[in-house]
Structure formats: structure tokens, C-alpha cells
Structure 1
Amino acid sequence: MTDLSERTEWIGDAFTSDVGWDLLEDLVDVGNRMAGQPGERDGLELVRDALAEAGCRNARVDEFEIQGWERGDSGIADGRRREPCIALPRSPSGTVTADFVDLGYGVPSDFEEGDVEGNVVMVSSDTPDDFDRFVHRTEKYYSAVEHGARAFVFRNHVEGCLPPTGSVGTDDDPIGDIPAVGVSAEVGTRLARRAEGDSVTVDVDCETPAATSGNAMAELGPETDEEVLVSSHVDAHDIAEGAMDNGAGTATIVEVANALAGVADELDTRVRFVAYGAEEVGLVGSGVEAERADRDGVKAIVNVDSNVFGRTLSLSTHGFDDLTAAADRLAERFDHPVSTSEEQVPHSDHWPFVVHGVPGYMVSGETEGRGRGWGHTEADTLEKLEARNLREQAILLTALVADLADGDTEVARREPSEIAAALEDEDKATGMKVIGDWPYDDDGTVVR
């Protein structure tokens, strides 16, 4: 039985450990960790070595091939000046001259009612508070494609002259259909004021070579058929340090490994740590692992993505009652706030497993407002994070993983059809179908 509730020495060790924070500093100092580029490989090797030094066995990087994407110059010219912007990863190269249309938030009705066909369309990175779900960037992009737009402009809703990034493209067609760029809130406001209905030119220059990514992994505990999977992603967008997204999550799971290594002999179930590559370009690394792994042997997943910036942990349980119960036990045991939600979150590395009914958490930090905040901009930097939060969250997640690994803890799976029905009920299926990410047939069977 793996029970850390009666012991406290490991808590003191974890709260005074520098293992996670040191790794976080090393990751942000790599520089560009874009999927398939040399810095991503450097990051994967840092994680592999940190897991080995923590006491894990079989530390390695498993490679896989991906569609690469390398940034060139981009711009928007409105006849008066060339506005600064950045290409969205996996945008195709191209130059488009057409009339400019501001579609506001870019919810489905904006595309249905707006003048989209043949034009350059701009949408906000935000979703209105009165809309019943968050509309992801990729849904907005493919709604623009579906309605005949010739180019796509993604405007940040966070002020500060920060153009946002974020990939386009799908699993079947990794390079998108139309040129796509991100602009700051200020540039977007200026374009809406000066260029609405007038001709603008959007140009994107990029390279799309074949590339190699990988997943860094290692394990602790007994050689059981069943395992608890603890995951994060190493890659980050090339414009930023990727401190919160997701250096923080990766540093956290290594700190969890460091804490659990001290009680590895007491674990009832193998705990495997995986830091994925190529998450930011479509959950590629976790998709590879979900196909390779014995999904029936995965007892539960604890996937950590974009934590530490918010002090309170936010755990999305995807309607798995036993995961909600484990989160409640954690909050009660430590008399510590833990936020939970049963909604489906189809946008991080737990998802390629959860679609099959594998129990999985999406773990992040609770923040105010909607959207990513500093995430996916050049402002995602180390000084916005606190070592205190990383240590506190690592302690809580260590206890959670130990609970899930306990032989007496049962975690029931769900039928894929139940996950499909939940996505329909939450109106998330609509956007997934627009993007081409809907993985189910009419019976709720996974078909992709």
C-alpha cells in the first residue's frame, strides 16, 4: 500500500528541493524549443537526464518524425504602413491581397453572418463571457477556411503590444490552408479602425522541412502491467521562453519524480513519467505515445500543462468520478484549495488517451479571466513564476500520484461513447468537427 498521508519527511524535502526550479531555469535558457528544432531536442535531453538523476530507471528519448515548420518574415500592409505581426506556426507561405473584415470574437455566428468569402478576416483571441464555451483558435481558423477567407488574422485580447502565436493545421494536413498571422491588441485595433472594408496585403514566409521530435520518459516503482502516467510537454513556441507553457509543468513532474523516488519501494503500481515533444503543433508526441502504449494498462493520467503562474491547482477530471474523489481527498488531507471541473478539455496531452476512455486529469494553475494571459506570447517568461508555487504544487501532485498508484485505489474507466456524449452536451463537438479533430463515429467508437 502506497500511503504518504502518515509521513511528513518527504514534504520537507520537496519544499526545500531545487530540482524542479533548476530544470525550469535550464529549459527557459535553451531558447527556442519549437517542435522539431534543435532546442526542443536539448530540452528533451535535459528532462531525460533530470529524471535519471532523480532516481528513475530507463530514462530515454523516443524519437518520431514530424512535419517541421520554421519561421521567416511576415507582415500586414494596409496602404499606409506595414504592421508588425508574427506567422502562426504551420501557416503556409503566401501573399494575399484582399479586403479586410473584422469579425470581432469569431464565434460561429460571426462567420455565418459576416462578409468572409474572398477576404482577410480578423478575430479576437478571446470568447465573450455570455457564450457558453471557449472557442479555440483552431476552430476560428477553420471556420474562416470553411467560409472562404483568403487569410486569417488572430488578434490578442491582452494589451501590451504582444502578438499571439498558436499553430494551425490538422493531423491529416499539418500545414494550414490559408496564410495566418497573429497581431497585438493594439495593432488589431488600429487595423479595425483604419482598414475595415479596404484592401490589405498579408504575407507569410516560412519553411516546412521534415523534422524529428521525441518523448522523454522514465519510470519508478514495481514492474507492474498497470501504470500511472505522469506527463507534461517540453516544446514551446519559438517566440518565447515557454516558462509557464510548459517549462513549469515539466519542472513539476520532475520534482514529483524526485519526491517519489524516495518511496519507490513502497509503490504498488509503476509510475511512468513522459515529457512529450510537439504538443504545440497538434498533440503529436502524446498521439504517438497513445498509439504505442498499452492503453488498457494505464490506470490514470496526471497531465500537467501551464501551472505555477496560478497558485491554486486546477484539475479537470473529464467526468471520471474516481478522479474527482481523489482530488477531493487531496484537498481534505492537506486542507489546501484545489479547484476541480468535470468538463472535457481536448487541448493537451491527456486527450489522445481520454478519447479512448482512459481516466485522465488536465492539471493547470487557476487564473483569472478567460484565455491564456501571457501564454503563447513573448511575455511567457520566468520572472512571472514563483518557486514557492512550484514546490507546493509538486507536493500536492506527489500525494495525488501516490494515491492513484495505491493498490486499494480504484479508478473506473469510461466508455468512449460517454466521452463523445459529454463533448456533444458541452457543445465542444461542434468546434472539433469544424477543425477535423472529431475522433468518433455515430456510435461513439474511436475511428481516428
Structure 2
Amino acid sequence: MTDWIGATFTDRAGWDHLETLVDLGDRMAGSAGEREAAELTRDALSAAGARDAHLDEFDVTGWTRGTSTVRVDGRDLACIALPRSPASDATGAFADLGYGLPTDFDRELEGKVVLVSSAVPDYYERFIHRREKYYRAVQAGAAAFVFENHVEGCLAPTGSVGTGDDPIGDIPAVGVSKEVGARLSRWCSGDDAHPVTVEVDCEYGPATSRNVHAVVGPDTDEEVLVTSHVDAHDIAEGAMDNGAGTAMVVQVARALARRESDLERSVRFVCYGSEEVGLCGSTHDAERRDLDRVKAIVNCDGVLQGRTLSAYTHGFDDLERVLREVAEHFDHPLGMNPQQGPHSDHWPYVLAGGVPAYHVTSETDGRGRGWGHTRADTLDKLESRDLREGAILLTELVVRLARADTEVARRPPEDIVAALEREGHAEGLRITGDLDSLD
């Protein structure tokens, strides 16, 4: 039967939910907006036909931005504080570290204000996360951290510098546009360069976040998880990151409810809180869940940045096989990256329990996040067509994963760590403390 395909392609439930989320305003971790987004997502999943839709609360460190600045010789330059920056100020000599590769920190940086780009060059063998660059700056004794967008357009980037276990960073951190970064480099280089002052005003303290849960399919011990995160940075609508992922979960839930008789294993939807500040919601869930019962995870984060879906498969051969089967069945392109992708909500399950997990994103022409983590992450850049096409493909993927005869072999955590070592990720994850529990 293919009626579900036509119904999904003409269904507005996911897109309507996306519009609802982006119109909420601030969905920052632990905020009232994040709570409302979780409640609305719970209701949307229930309306989609899922059962037992409910919220699971947990504690986080909330963070609220104030006014921040970068000052040179009495002149203030536009910037935004990076979430989990401490409220503090620092003044020091300026150091432009370019891309912020590991070797770029091998110089005298004690007491300096360092500038690093959000990009990683094409020739470098791995992605370097913002938090790794920040922690390297801290370890080198820098006084402040300035994160420069590599995308033109006067857009300052945001992004957390803390972790779930160590939520507030050690030195003030701000994001600046590519244009402001260029001006800093021009003003602050040379023998007569002025010192740079970074001031961050913010508040932080105890807060509550929550995960959204719902289920379709039979009541079985083994289950497939379909996930996203509802929180977003407070400076924009959070349309791509990650209203789109949560909208995709709602749309897939609608389609799976229509195909419930095809499901041979339980399918659980989990839309996490507080992903943007250290994968807090997914870590909370992974620590409390019996991971042996989780057959596979389909995590949606970045699914509407481009039309063609792509997935990290983390070296799980069976996941690659099922993804190819879906692509061939629909004669539709699906991208694949077999390497480790340790920067979204699937990762706590992969690292702790060797759980087979897709991180589903989408193919783009540019490098890095593009409009993501800036004020330009808005609904007008996304297409409802892409949401509906993607939902059809992911629905079929989940149905196949939920078959009793679909085998998805697990990998021991030590194999995951070995893969991280081979691919060059382990060094950065140790810098940020994200491998401490396994070392």
C-alpha cells in the first residue's frame, strides 16, 4: 500500500508545527520558551496519533544573555556573548589564530585575547568544534575568546562553550561577524596595536528543561528511537537548528501512525531539551534508559538545510545497508558518511552503549553551519517540499528498522573510541572532557 505516501506529501502537520515553533521566539535551554515548545511538541505528537505523549523534566544550568562588547581604543564593536560564557571582562593583547587548528595554539597566548574562525580548512583532516577551540584557548592561558563567523553578511555566530558537567566556561567568550573580525585584525596588528577588551554581561543559575516522549507501534521490549531537539539559540527563530528536526519527527509520527500495522517493534519519539548547551537532554535520557532495548536511533538535526538527506552512520554496516535499501526502493538520493559524528543527540547512546544510530542531516554546498547559529536561521530559507519528501524516506527507514528480521549489530564502546582515534576526533573530545567517562 502506498496511500501513506500521498497522504504524507500533502500533509501540513510538520510544517505547521515548524511555523509554531519559530514564532515562539526564545527557545533557549531552560527558558519559558523552551518549555512551551516542549508542551506544543507533546500535543503535536499526540495529535499525530502517538500515544503516551508526556514530558520528562530534568535540571540544567540556565543562561540568559545581557549586553556584551568588544572594545578597542574606546571604540565598541558589535558582538554577542557565547552561551555559557561567564559574566566577566578581560583586556589583553590581540592574537589572530586563523582557523584555530591545534597547532595555531602553539605560541605564547598567556593573557591575550584570541580570535578564531568558525571554519575548518578543506585540507584539514577533521572538523574542529567551537568548544575544542575554546578549551584550547583556556589551556593556553588566553584571557578571552572571540569566535569569528567565516560567512559574510555581518552575522555574529553563537554557540555554547560549556558542557553538561561543567556548564560555565573559564574565560569570557563572544561571537563576532566576519567583518568585525577583519576590522579587529586590521586595528590590532602591528607594533603600535591597541589592547582589546572583551566584556560579557549575562546571568546563569538553576533551571528546568524537559524531554518530550511519545510512542507508536506494538508494545515490545525492543524499540527504535526517532529523535530531535526542541531548544534553539535565543538570537533567531531556530528554524534549521532545530525546529526543522522536530517538525520532521512530528511528520514521521503522522506517517507511522498511518502505517502502525507495518511496525513490528515499538517506535519511541524523543524530542530533547538543552541540546545546544552540551547534549543535556539526551544525556539525561541515555543515563536512565536500558540501552540494550534500543535497537537503533534516527536522530534528526539539520534535515532541511538542503533537499537531499544525508546521514552519519558511525561505522555501523547494517545502518548503511538499510539506508541504501531505502534509497534504492524510492530511486531517490540519500547521502551517507560512515565516520563518527559526535555532535548531536544520538551521541550519548552511541558512546555509552554502542547503540546503532543515524545522525540525519542534509547536504549543502557551503562549509560549516551556513546560516545556523546566527540571526539568519529563519523559516524563509526552508522549503515544505523538502520536509515532506524527507518524511517519506525516513518513515520507510524506520519501518524497515522496526522489522523483526532486520538485524542491526551493535559495536562495543571501545570500538567507537578506536574509530574516534583513527578519524582524529578523540583528541578534541578529550580536550573538552567528552571522553572522560571512557578513558
TM-score (norm 2): 0.98
Alignment partners' CA distance in 2, 1:157 and 1:166:
14
Alignment partners' CA distance in 2, 1:117 and 1:176:
17
Q: Which amino acid in the other structure matches residue 263 of structure 2?
A: L
For 2:404, the equivalent position in structure 1 comes to: 407
Instruction: Report if aligned partners of 1:169, 1:177 keep a CA contact under 8 Å in 2.
Output: no
For 2:434, the equivalent position in structure 1 comes to: 437
CA deviation vs aligned residue, 1:84-141 (integer Å, no higher than 9, x gap): 10000000011111111111100000001x3311100000000111111111100000
Partner of 2:26: helix, strand, or coil? coil
Partner of 1:408: helix, strand, or coil? coil
Detail structure 1 runs of 4+ shifted over 2 Å in the superposition: 439-442
For 1:345, the equivalent position in structure 2 comes to: 341
Alignment partners' CA distance in 1, 2:100 and 2:200:
22
Aligned counterpart for 1:70 among listed residues 51, 64, 67: 64
Partner of 2:370: helix, strand, or coil? coil
For 1:46, the equivalent position in structure 2 comes to: 40
Alignment partners' CA distance in 1, 2:419 and 2:278:
22
Which stretch of structure 1 is more off in the superposition, 167-176 or 422-431?
167-176
Instruction: Report if aligned partners of 1:313, 1:365 keep a CA contact under 8 Å in 2.
Output: yes
Instruction: Report if aligned partners of 2:135, 2:432 keep a CA contact under 8 Å in 1.
Output: yes
Alignment partners' CA distance in 1, 2:95 and 2:321:
48
Which stretch of structure 1 is more off in the superposition, 190-199 or 90-99?
190-199
Instruction: Report if aligned partners of 2:152, 2:179 keep a CA contact under 8 Å in 1.
Output: yes
Alignment of 1:235-250 (within 5 A): 235-250=231-246
CA deviation vs aligned residue, 1:144-174 (integer Å, no higher than 9, x gap): 0000001000000000000000001123321
Instruction: Report if aligned partners of 1:420, 1:440 keep a CA contact under 8 Å in 2.
Output: no
Q: Are 1:206 and 2:199 counterparts?
A: no
Alignment of 1:16-415 (within 5 A): 16-112=10-106, 114-196=107-189, 197-355=193-351, 356-415=353-412
Alignment partners' CA distance in 1, 2:73 and 2:87:
21
TM superposition shift of 1:324: 0.2
Alignment partners' CA distance in 2, 1:315 and 1:306:
10
Q: Which amino acid in the other structure matches residue 167 of structure 1?
A: S
Q: Which amino acid in the other structure matches residue 373 of structure 1?
A: G
Partner of 1:61: helix, strand, or coil? strand
Alignment of 1:3-22 (within 5 A): 7-22=1-16
TM superposition shift of 1:308: 1.3
TM superposition shift of 1:391: 0.3
Instruction: Report if aligned partners of 1:135, 1:431 keep a CA contact under 8 Å in 2.
Output: yes
Partner of 1:403: helix, strand, or coil? helix
Alignment partners' CA distance in 1, 2:232 and 2:337:
26
Q: Where do 5+ consecutive residues of structure 2 fail to align?
A: none
Identity %: 63
Alignment partners' CA distance in 2, 1:44 and 1:115:
46
Partner of 1:254: helix, strand, or coil? helix
Partner of 2:358: helix, strand, or coil? strand
CA deviation vs aligned residue, 1:274-303 (integer Å, no higher than 9, x gap): 000000000000000001111000000000
Alignment partners' CA distance in 2, 1:63 and 1:137:
28
Aligned length: 435
Q: Where do 5+ consecutive residues of structure 1 fail to align?
A: 1-6, 443-448
Alignment partners' CA distance in 2, 1:276 and 1:111:
34
Q: Which amino acid in the other structure matches residue 119 of structure 1?
A: K
Q: Which amino acid in the other structure matches residue 264 of structure 1?
A: E
Q: Which amino acid in the other structure matches residue 94 of structure 1?
A: S
Alignment partners' CA distance in 1, 2:215 and 2:425:
34
Q: Which amino acid in the other structure matches residue 59 of structure 1?
A: A
TM superposition shift of 1:309: 2.2
Alignment partners' CA distance in 1, 2:236 and 2:108:
34
TM superposition shift of 1:373: 0.2
Instruction: Report if aligned partners of 1:101, 1:115 keep a CA contact under 8 Å in 2.
Output: no
Instruction: Report if aligned partners of 2:156, 2:374 keep a CA contact under 8 Å in 1.
Output: yes
Alignment partners' CA distance in 2, 1:207 and 1:378:
21
Q: Which amino acid in the other structure matches residue 168 of structure 1?
A: V
Alignment partners' CA distance in 1, 2:319 and 2:159:
30
Partner of 2:270: helix, strand, or coil? strand
Q: Which amino acid in the other structure matches residue 341 of structure 1?
A: N
Q: Which amino acid in the other structure matches residue 173 of structure 1?
A: D
TM superposition shift of 1:80: 4.5
Q: Which amino acid in the other structure matches residue 408 of structure 1?
A: D
TM superposition shift of 1:365: 1.0
Alignment partners' CA distance in 1, 2:383 and 2:430:
39
Q: Which amino acid in the other structure matches residue 298 of structure 1?
A: V
CA RMSD of aligned residues (A): 0.9
Alignment partners' CA distance in 1, 2:26 and 2:357:
29
Q: Are 1:420 and 2:417 counterparts?
A: yes
Partner of 2:201: helix, strand, or coil? strand
Alignment partners' CA distance in 2, 1:440 and 1:321:
26
Instruction: Report if aligned partners of 1:88, 1:180 keep a CA contact under 8 Å in 2.
Output: yes
Instruction: Report if aligned partners of 1:40, 1:234 keep a CA contact under 8 Å in 2.
Output: yes
Partner of 1:73: helix, strand, or coil? coil
TM-score (norm 1): 0.96
Instruction: Report if aligned partners of 2:164, 2:279 keep a CA contact under 8 Å in 1.
Output: no
